[in-house]
Amino acid sequence: MTSPAGQSPLIPPEAPVHRPAGDAVRLLLFNAQNASPDRSRRQAAWVAAQEEADIAVFTEVSSTYGGDALVTALGERGYATVIAPQPAEADYRTVIACRTADAHPVQSPVAVTPHRAPAARVTVAGHDIGVLGLYVPSRGPKEQRNVAKRAFQDAVTEALPKLDAAFPDMPVIVAGDLNVIERRHQPPHKVFGSWEYSFHDSFQTAGLTDAFRHLHPDKVAHSWYGRSGNGFRFDHLFVSAAHADRVLACDYHQQAREEGLSDHAVMTLHLGLSSTAGGQGEAPATSSC
C-alpha cells in the first residue's frame, strides 16, 4: 500500500514537522509490538516527532485494525509514502514509511511471506538508496516450533546476495527484528542453535556490514529484555559493505520502550551521502528542520 504522491493528509500533521535531510540518510527502526489502533496512533506521533526518522521501518505490525491505524496516522503526520504490504492471511507485516514522495516499492527478493520483507527504492537529495525491511518470525507454537522461522530465514539467506542486482550502484540498508543474536553476544544465550547463528552470519557473507558493530565493535547493547531481565540484541541495521565507511552514527535508544510504546528499543542510522549525486554535481545542503 503506497500513499498517492501529493495527496494531502486528512488531518494536518502536528508540529514538529521535520523535512528530510539533504546530506545523509536518516533511518529509524521501530518494533510496533502488534499495537492496538490507539497505541499505533501514539507510535506514529512519537516517530514523526523524531528528526532522524526520514525513513521509518516498522516491524511486528498487525495486518488488521492496529496496522491500518498506523499506516493512516503516518500519512497524516507527514509521511508522503507508506509501503505496507497486506498478507493474504492474518500475519504480522513490515512497513516502510518515508517523508519523501520519491520512494517506490520494488518486488521483495524474499520469496516466503514477502509481506514481512518489503523493499523500496528511496531517493534522498538525488541519491538512490535501497531499503529492505525484515521481521523474522518467532519460534512459534510447540507443534510448529521453528517451522516458519527457519523457512523465512532460509528465504532471506537466499535473497541477500540478490540485493546488488535489485539495487545496482547504490547504498543498501537492511533493517529489521531478526529474532536472533550474534555469535559473540553478551550475555550468551544457549537457546539459539547453530542454524540461527548461521543466519546472522549470512548478512556478512552477502556483503553487508553490521552498522552498529562497525562503529561499536565491543559495546554491549540490547534491544529486547525477557521476563528474567536478560537482554537480547534482536534488532539490527546492516549497510552494503562498500558503503560502510559512510555510517556516521548507529545507536539503540530506550525511550520508547521505557514509555511503553514498544517492548523493543528503537534503532537509528545516519548514513552519509557522497559529495556528488550520480556524478551530476554536489548534493544539496541539509534541509532545515
What pTM value is reported for the model?
Answer: 0.88
Instruction: Kindly list the distances between the CA atom of residue 135 and the CA atoms of 15, 67, 109, 127, 236, in Å, as whole numbers in the listed order.
Output: 30, 14, 14, 26, 11
Q: What are phi and psi of 100, to 5 degrees?
A: -95, 150
pLDDT, residue 139, reads 67
Block mean pLDDT (10 aa), the chain, length 289: 42 63 95 97 97 97 97 97 95 97 97 98 96 89 76 97 96 95 72 82 96 92 79 92 97 95 96 62 34
* Burial classification of residue 33, based on how many CB atoms lie within 10 Å of its CB (0-12 exposed, 13-18 middle, 19 or more buried): buried
pLDDT, residue 144, reads 67
Q: What are phi and psi of 130, to 5 degrees?
A: -95, 135
pLDDT, residue 183, reads 77
**Domains of the chain: which residue ranges?**
24-272
* CATH topology for the 24-272 domain: Deoxyribonuclease I; Chain A (3.60.10)
Cα separation of 169 and 152, whole Å? 27
Helix ranges (DSSP H) in the chain: 37-48, 65-76, 147-159, 163-166, 194-205, 211-215, 255-258
